[in-house]
Structure 1
Amino acid sequence: MFRPGRSEAIARPSALTALGFGAAPLGNLYRQISDSDADQAVAAAVAGGVGYFDVAPQYGRGLAEQRLGDALAKHDPEQRAILSTKVGILLRPDVDGGASSESIFKSSTGLIPHYDYSYDAVMASIEASKKRLGGRAINIVYAHDLGRRAHGERHEERMAAFLEGGYRALAELRSAGQIDAIGLGVNEWEVCEEVLAQADFDIMLLAGRYTLLEQSAAATFLPLCEQRGVDVVIGGPYNSGILAMGTRSGGVPYYDYRPADEAVIAKVAAIEAICDRHDVPLAAAALQFPLAAKPVVSVIPGFASAAELEQAIALVAWRIPYSFWHDLQDAGLIAPGVSIPHAPFGDPAAKDSLKQ
């Protein structure tokens, strides 16, 4: 379990705030944003009590780390916030000028990503991240995008490189007190179970697999983490957008990084109908649902602006009645046996604040 220990500033009872800050949009995810927008988003997070920020070298090929480091230096100079980054995708100079224009990150830093989970690459990646982050302390380090879905036939090769090299580097840094916690940052829970059978981890960042729409991680992964005392952070709570925009906006709803199919759209529409009956925003339900699971300590949507951050704070605080979750279960829209909130929480004023 993640228990920060290097700094009194972060040694507090609740290590990670329930709402965290996913920094991928600071790397120009899907669209370009300005340095000012990035700075204001981080400023709003700090002002709003968000105390956990997650980033990775891959996000904008170093741009997100640079922007986050610059903003936190201004708005959190005492380093009270907890910071995580990732290893396994090492940035190297684009000597051939062949950086793909098809990247989902619309930024150009002269660097290109290379998968490398070896000991030396992980150590080099952390040092490079520290420089981009302005020398700020890194509390949590995740191994990024391991798994069969990510690597296909090369999964065994890259898993071996990590367990024999990269994991050893992370464990050494943890033992030396240079970082507080280690884990995986992935889109597939199966690989988390695979590594937990072979090594010691503190925390897992799982994106998209435990959400209001999909609970495939509930059967074995979450109980295993609870048994082992491993914390879980939920990324991608909107499943690439469909749980934020819904099915009625007129735009193309995305699920799992691609246009949603008819079955997914139909399920979200059914959830929306129950949201309407209880006056619950779909996005509020999407943010609050994962937090009911015992090992889940934080949910981290991505933010590209102060307005998005402020809206998320209101959504997490929206008072959702227990009857809403009960109706979802009765309709078969939440998998049997999963944890649901057993009492409304939040600030009644959040509803008015969101509508302003």
Structure 2
Amino acid sequence: MIALPTLGMGCAGIGNLYRAVDDATARDTVAAALAGGIGYFDVAPHYGFGLAETRLGAALAEHDPHGTAIVSTKVGRLLEPTDSQAAERHGFVDAPALEPVFDYSYDAVLRSVDASRVRLRRDRLDVLFAHDLGVLTHGDDAARHMADFVEGGYRALRGLRDAGEVGAIGIGVNEVAVCLDLLDRVELDVILLAGRYTLLEQDAARPLIERCRETGTRLVIGGPYNSGILVEGSRAASHFNYAPPPPAIVARVAELERACAAFDVPLAAAALQFPRREPVVAGVIPGLVGADQVAATLRYAAWPIPDALWDAVGAASEATA
């Protein structure tokens, strides 16, 4: 199993998630991450419809010419031309005129990997995740896509790993149920779980954590800030789980803020460090855009947190659950 750093960078933001980012900012973000010791980058064809992979590949070619950084990307969507002129599609702004089309079949996985290699300028991929399986994304089509993956796409992932073209394989999802389902069907080296094991959702992933202990599967936690609310706080919150936060969530964040303030710890520092306390968690990958966010993340990662704070935020979470 490939060794994953405890802190990485999620790259959806440099694919213009929610707002446009220029090429220079994307390049400088990756350069600052590398300079700060962040050597793991997670990306996907879906992020800006190839834009994030292209920008990451260009930045790493310039600032990591020997290919020492670890890169994970994903399969499950193919990018097809579109005539849409919409400024924002699927949350991404000013992205290329391509439309992501779900396809978890054997051939589609191989096509997706070949395209990602070109954009990333890499022949070998460190980690390959099947992206967004499950009912949360697919609704009534979830069973069909799952069958395509188990019967086809997974076989492609195994073949790539066995041939040494990929270091590790797994899934990248936003829900626990599909992880438990797949662990009963196939072998997964690593699971990227976004937004379900956070300071705000402390117990949602407990069944999965126990299952991963049994199988030896490692967890990577994405979305430690729950799409931003655990950085912005209750007053400025704009996103929770990729959407505007409901009042109950804002109230829970306010309780967590009060608990953190009593120990003079930034809410974001507690949010970033919370998942890293679990031994099954190999790493945490907040989404970053700009050298200032990289610098802030490094401060949060190193912020001293007393054990008493974890008791306090646990109590605050239970009180508002």
TM-score, normalised via structure 1 length: 0.87
> Given that residues 83 and 137 in structure 1 are in contact (C-alpha distance below 8 angstroms), is that contact kept between their aligned partners in structure 2?
no
| Counterpart-to-counterpart distance in 1, 2:66 and 2:308 | 42
1:195 to 1:269, Cα distance in 2 relative to 1, 3 A: same
**Which residue number corresponds to residue 147 of structure 1?**
134
Q: Which amino acid aligns with 1:98?
A: S
- Provide the secondary structure at the position in 2 that maps to 1:180: strand
| Counterpart-to-counterpart distance in 1, 2:315 and 2:277 | 18
1:333 to 1:194, Cα distance in 2 relative to 1, 3 A: same
Q: Which amino acid aligns with 1:82?
A: I
Do structure 1's residue 19 and structure 2's residue 7 form an aligned pair? yes
- 1:57-100 deviation per Cα after TM superposition (whole angstroms, max 9, x unaligned): 00001000000000001111111111100000111222xx1365
Q: CA deviation at 1:323?
A: 1.1
> Given that residues 271 and 333 in structure 1 are in contact (C-alpha distance below 8 angstroms), is that contact kept between their aligned partners in structure 2?
no
**Which residue number corresponds to residue 316 of structure 1?**
301
- Provide the secondary structure at the position in 1 that maps to 2:125: coil
| Counterpart-to-counterpart distance in 2, 1:153 and 1:332 | 33
1:146 to 1:216, Cα distance in 2 relative to 1, 3 A: farther
**Which residue number corresponds to residue 91 of structure 1?**
79
**Which residue number corresponds to residue 255 of structure 1?**
240
- 1:244-269 deviation per Cα after TM superposition (whole angstroms, max 9, x unaligned): 10013xx3432112221221111111
| Counterpart-to-counterpart distance in 1, 2:86 and 2:193 | 27
> Given that residues 12 and 47 in structure 2 are in contact (C-alpha distance below 8 angstroms), is that contact kept between their aligned partners in structure 1?
yes
| Counterpart-to-counterpart distance in 1, 2:286 and 2:197 | 13
| Counterpart-to-counterpart distance in 2, 1:334 and 1:223 | 24
Number of paired residues? Answer: 320
| Counterpart-to-counterpart distance in 1, 2:15 and 2:234 | 27
| CA RMSD, 1 decimal | 1.6
**Which residue number corresponds to residue 194 of structure 2?**
207
**Which residue number corresponds to residue 117 of structure 1?**
104
| Counterpart-to-counterpart distance in 1, 2:313 and 2:237 | 25
Do structure 1's residue 270 and structure 2's residue 258 form an aligned pair? no
**Which residue number corresponds to residue 134 of structure 1?**
121
Q: Pick from 188, 193, 218: which aligns with 2:175?
A: 188
- Provide the secondary structure at the position in 1 that maps to 2:209: helix
| Counterpart-to-counterpart distance in 1, 2:256 and 2:302 | 20
Q: CA deviation at 1:335?
A: 11
- Provide the secondary structure at the position in 2 that maps to 1:269: helix
- Provide the secondary structure at the position in 1 that maps to 2:234: coil
Do structure 1's residue 288 and structure 2's residue 273 form an aligned pair? yes
| Counterpart-to-counterpart distance in 1, 2:191 and 2:206 | 16
Identical pairs, percent: 50
**Which residue number corresponds to residue 7 of structure 1?**
none
| Counterpart-to-counterpart distance in 2, 1:127 and 1:334 | 49
Q: Pick from 36, 43, 57: which aligns with 2:24?
A: 36
| Counterpart-to-counterpart distance in 2, 1:208 and 1:334 | 20
1:99 to 1:224, Cα distance in 2 relative to 1, 3 A: farther
User: Which ranges in structure 1 are unaligned for 5 or more consecutive residues?
Assistant: 5-14, 337-356
| Counterpart-to-counterpart distance in 2, 1:123 and 1:267 | 43
Q: Which amino acid aligns with 1:117?
A: Y
> Given that residues 57 and 89 in structure 1 are in contact (C-alpha distance below 8 angstroms), is that contact kept between their aligned partners in structure 2?
yes
Do structure 1's residue 176 and structure 2's residue 169 form an aligned pair? no
> Given that residues 200 and 317 in structure 2 are in contact (C-alpha distance below 8 angstroms), is that contact kept between their aligned partners in structure 1?
no
Q: Pick from 65, 80, 100: which aligns with 1:77?
A: 65
